[in-house]
Amino acid sequence: MRNEYVQAVLAVVRLVPAGAAVSYGDVAELLGSGGPRQVGSVMSHYGGDVPWWRVLKASGHAPPGHEAEALLLYLEEGTPLVGDYGSYIRTGDGRWRVDLAAARWAPTDEDFESIDTVAEELERRLHSLSVPDDGMIV
DNA sequence: ATTCTGACTTGCT
DNA sequence: AAGCAAGCCAGAA
């Protein structure tokens, strides 16, 4: 993954406030570049320094492999949850997920500006350093 | 160029 | 709720 892209993704994730959440696909859309898998890849490799638990699957399920820690964080910041997380805490096998319909981040105008800036910068950098290698001359 | 592999998503059982 | 097939985008071999 290009470093420019990594930085852009992390910048967007840092904007998501406590108690809110977005899906991997949401981030890709806001950025207008890459897809859900790319965002997931970035988070798995470089998400350690940002609120990674606020980025999850479209189903509302926490990042694979980090459910337990994420749940504690959701409870701390009051993120809307659905399902039986009580038993998950006790036995580890309860079924729950983030109520994305209620928790999905609604960017403010200011956030959108910030995102646009990041997205434009990303585009600029991606185009300045490379030239299409399969461009057909007509 | 081809194939495989992912913190993905959607639709269908 | 859980599993699966496709579709998806990129990087690695």
Q: What is the CATH number of the domain that holds A121?
A: 1.10.10.10
- Average pLDDT for A34-57: 97
Strands, E, within chain A: which ranges?
22-23, 55-56, 81-83, 96-98
Using one digit for the tens of pLDDT, what is the confidence trace for A4-37?
999 999 999 999 999 999 999 999 999 999 999 9
Using one digit for the tens of pLDDT, what is the confidence trace for A87-112?
777 766 678 999 999 999 999 999 99
Q: Is the model's pLDDT at A135 over the cut of 70?
A: no
pTM for this prediction: 0.91
Nucleotides of C under 7 A from a protein CB: 1-2, 7-11
What does the pLDDT read at residue A138?
34
What does the pLDDT read at residue A136?
46
Q: Give the percent of chain A with pLDDT over 70.
A: 91
Interatomic CA–C1' length for residue A64 and nucleotide B2, angstroms: 30
Range of the domain at A106: 3-130
What does the pLDDT read at residue A122?
95
The sign of the torsion formed by the CA atoms of A121, A124, A129, A134 equals positive
Q: Is the model's pLDDT at A76 over the cut of 90?
A: yes
Q: Is residue A45 part of a domain?
A: yes
Provide the domain count of chain A.
Answer: 1
Q: Is residue A135 part of a domain?
A: no
Task: Determine whether the distance from the CB of A24 to the nearest atom of strand B is below 7 Å.
Answer: yes
Q: Is the model's pLDDT at A48 over the cut of 70?
A: yes
Nucleotide lying nearest to A96, CA to C1' measure: C1
Q: Is residue A58 part of a domain?
A: yes
Task: Determine whether the distance from the CB of A2 to the nearest atom of strand B is below 7 Å.
Answer: no
What is the spatial distance between Cα A110 and Cα A107, in angstroms, rounded to a whole number? Answer: 8
Nucleotide lying nearest to A65, CA to C1' measure: B7
Q: Is residue A138 part of a domain?
A: no
Q: Which of residues 38-67 of A touch strand B (CB under 7 A)?
A: 38-41, 43-44, 47-48, 52, 55, 57-59, 63-66
Q: Is residue A29 part of a domain?
A: yes
